[in-house]
Structure 1
């Protein structure tokens, strides 16, 4: 094995490139430069050598160096100044470096378990609570009746304060569970009774709870590809082996899932509004998935994260309502319907699992805080919840229609905008000569939160081999912003895209 090491910069120290190894040279160079930035050997504002000079010094092709620099630029480790060169960024990216820590990596925690290593390697949170344009997962908080909510919080404590102060039912506040069950039966055609509803601290905790109960380490799980990184993290935390399954216009490709992992223990799907592509699972695929689960004695977790905001007809019936074999667990949340900091969600479990879930909640955390549950029960029982959803559905429909017109106008010739039939975000598909991660990094530096679609994909090994296509586009949230702000931000983003040509 031939290796070559010599200093590239005085502050970089020796770098070893393995020219006979499997890893491409541009990835080796990228990792070496990134590590020098993280460790402070390359300091903020320090100028990197020109790509041609570095290529000549190392006997590399200039394209190899350019690719390494482009990756660093896309991840926010360096910045580019026209006519001046490339410089170390003044602030490192928020997300952890790719690749995951080793067991002895003191910077990321000594002695991580294999699960811990896998969790740490999952991409960072794609949401942004700063309120910057296009941030995902944030509803219009200006339209929420916080005065009513405050009154209900006070009323709940005043009327039942002593009762709320004792140990709660680990499955949640019984009146709230009954209200949720009634709502789901009427609006989502979910088959459930109140004792099947488990209140959790957000949908992520619900998924983690389900994974801990149903999966053994090493069990295979189908995950939609692309999909939400937080869901993958919850499954990895239970020691699952993820089987990425591609999607098409009908949703998850069940036949491909069987081909890749027909013995999977569980499938995690978002049938009503897939994230991030926005497609709706067809009835044919739903029935295929249910047949597979029944035949394999497998489980299905239905993540119904924002089905309340559907703009083409009434809300769709849930997959769980079609299940006659008791194989579907239904997960929902109030984060988008009300406000994210509420941190209340729910899981509808088959009757046979209720006892196990009760025991797990008692031992894991004792249950979710009861005070906001009591207020939410009154919010639903008094009609505020239904009225708020009606108002927000109309508000978001107007915002969505105007936003799509804005994107069509601003990105004419630069990309193609689309939005699913539900949800609070739109997609702009980009041509290959405008890489989404590079444009996302450029947008972040001018104050826009625009996650790259390609960041939601898994199975990088297959992508590198060209066996599985990866989307190239941008994710744009519209719910939390007024039309004027969205218009200004869209024009600014389009100008950045145009300048990349």
Structure 2
């Protein structure tokens, strides 16, 4: 049995430009990599290590949570936190993003409360690895050639079947394009129906990346306000009647979480049909709805074929896959095929084959059910922990679904950008609400993702956030 790792091996250099969070993270990671912390070795409790190193307990817990999310540590209820038993790093080598033993996070800057990430610790590594290995052994000659620019037919078939059951969307495989995530779907949509100078409606607040992408293509962005019913369609029709495309998140609006009301859905579809406009439905987290009936997909109501439907595997599997899909209006399928030939020669075949088989064997459906239950529990645990720690200093806005909560701090003496900066210094990564707004102010607040905050870590993360915000 290895001797316990001495505390001075994890000593923090307070004169360093590197944050306390990063230093501790790199020291523990290095100790695992060079064997000083062997698989199965027990780490000190967060309270004990924080006291010995003179750190806030929340900082230590944030580092433990990050390493657990990357597969390096395992939290066990009665035996504490241990190094993952399956790790086998090379002697004398620190695990890195290229080391297969680490199962690393796709984002080297990943931190608790960070938006846009699924639960990294819930990813089904074993079936995924088995499928990949089998696909590699059985790789056919056809799979070694250039892929179909529209996507692997078996994957498109699996996606069509999934959407028919989960979202009520009826479409043929010819209407489906496999994309490099939402960005690729957005660019393809723009190429099919827009030209430079066209007016585009975007939600405000909304997904800034989509706004910047369209602006970079020369489109005129109209920031349409959002209220408790979602996109204010009437405002858009009045202020930008020449709009050619509306980019919306109707199931769980980003970042407010509200669902587009049935009345607004009818208004939006009527606008598209009568004006000759188009709608791009970004259904980025539709799988995760925790109370009440899940809103119907806008595409399922699209009788005039004016809606593009974009989905992604980034929130259900891994962002690093860079895989998504776009359901086309049928009249644009042929044009999309031509555009794909000119844009690129398709998405990497190996990943498409693996995802298709993962879906065919039922792993995808089981994984989604597991994530749903875990997310519901994690959200409840984090909200309860925040309310206990902050008391009347916090107001949490809960919606029926989504991957984050909105926390407002009515007694804060600084703006939400400064609050986010302070949290980042403590190893946490919430996002300021004001940063998502273009023209319409929705006040101050922090967007807190709960996906990578396990239930037994919620109290520590809440404590770390409380200490960071002061």
Tell me, yes or no, if the aligned pair for 1:187 and 1:315 is still in contact at 8 Å: no
Determine which of 463, 466, 469 is the counterpart of 1:491. Answer: 463
- Superposed CA deviations along residues 471-492 of structure 1, whole A, max 9, x for unmatched, are 2000111111223433222223
Provide the rounded CA distance (Å) in 2 between the counterparts of 1:165 and 1:128: 29
The Cα shift of 1:129 comes to 4.8
Provide the rounded CA distance (Å) in 2 between the counterparts of 1:446 and 1:306: 28
Determine which of 214, 223, 237 is the counterpart of 2:202. Answer: 223
Match of 1:339? 318
**After the TM superposition, which residues 46-125 of structure 1 pair with which residues of structure 2 at under 5 Å, given as runs?**
none
The Cα shift of 1:422 comes to 1.3
Provide the rounded CA distance (Å) in 1 between the counterparts of 2:404 and 2:382: 10
Provide the rounded CA distance (Å) in 1 between the counterparts of 2:454 and 2:193: 43
Match of 2:426? 446
- Superposed CA deviations along residues 370-421 of structure 1, whole A, max 9, x for unmatched, are 1110111111111111111111111111111111111222232212012321
Match of 1:161? 140
Q: Pick the structure with greater CA Rg.
A: 1
- Superposed CA deviations along residues 437-459 of structure 1, whole A, max 9, x for unmatched, are 11111111222111100000113
Provide the rounded CA distance (Å) in 2 between the counterparts of 1:233 and 1:129: 24
Determine which of 243, 260, 265 is the counterpart of 1:286. Answer: 265
The Cα shift of 1:128 comes to 6.2
Provide the rounded CA distance (Å) in 1 between the counterparts of 2:289 and 2:167: 12
Determine which of 421, 432, 446 is the counterpart of 1:474. Answer: 446
Determine which of 336, 358, 364 is the counterpart of 2:343. Answer: 364
Does residue 256 (structure 1) correspond to residue 228 (structure 2)? The answer is no
Q: Relative contact order (alpha carbons < 8 A, sep ≥ 6): 1 or 2 greater? A: 2
Provide the rounded CA distance (Å) in 2 between the counterparts of 1:128 and 1:438: 23
Does residue 205 (structure 1) correspond to residue 177 (structure 2)? The answer is no
Q: Let me know the Cα RMSD of the aligned residues.
A: 1.8
Compared CA separation, residues 277 and 129, structure 1 to 2 (3 A): farther
Provide the rounded CA distance (Å) in 1 between the counterparts of 2:223 and 2:107: 26
- Superposed CA deviations along residues 206-262 of structure 1, whole A, max 9, x for unmatched, are 111111221111111110001111111221232111100111111011111112201
- Superposed CA deviations along residues 292-334 of structure 1, whole A, max 9, x for unmatched, are 1111000000000011111114533200110111100000001
Stretches of structure 1 lacking an aligned partner (at least 5 in a row): 1-43, 45-126, 460-467
Provide the rounded CA distance (Å) in 2 between the counterparts of 1:255 and 1:273: 20
Provide the rounded CA distance (Å) in 1 between the counterparts of 2:156 and 2:346: 13
**After the TM superposition, which residues 74-473 of structure 1 pair with which residues of structure 2 at under 5 Å, given as runs?**
129-431=108-410, 433-459=413-439, 468-473=440-445
Stretches of structure 2 lacking an aligned partner (at least 5 in a row): 1-16, 18-105
Q: When the two structures are superposed, what TM-score results if normalisation uses the length of structure 2?
A: 0.75
More off after superposition, 409-418 vs 128-137: 128-137
Compared CA separation, residues 128 and 382, structure 1 to 2 (3 A): closer
- Superposed CA deviations along residues 124-155 of structure 1, whole A, max 9, x for unmatched, are xxx96533121111111222111211211222
Tell me, yes or no, if the aligned pair for 2:290 and 2:401 is still in contact at 8 Å: yes
Match of 1:82? none
- Superposed CA deviations along residues 5-53 of structure 1, whole A, max 9, x for unmatched, are xxxxxxxxxxxxxxxxxxxxxxxxxxxxxxxxxxxxxxx9xxxxxxxxx
Tell me, yes or no, if the aligned pair for 2:434 and 2:441 is still in contact at 8 Å: no
Provide the rounded CA distance (Å) in 1 between the counterparts of 2:394 and 2:463: 13
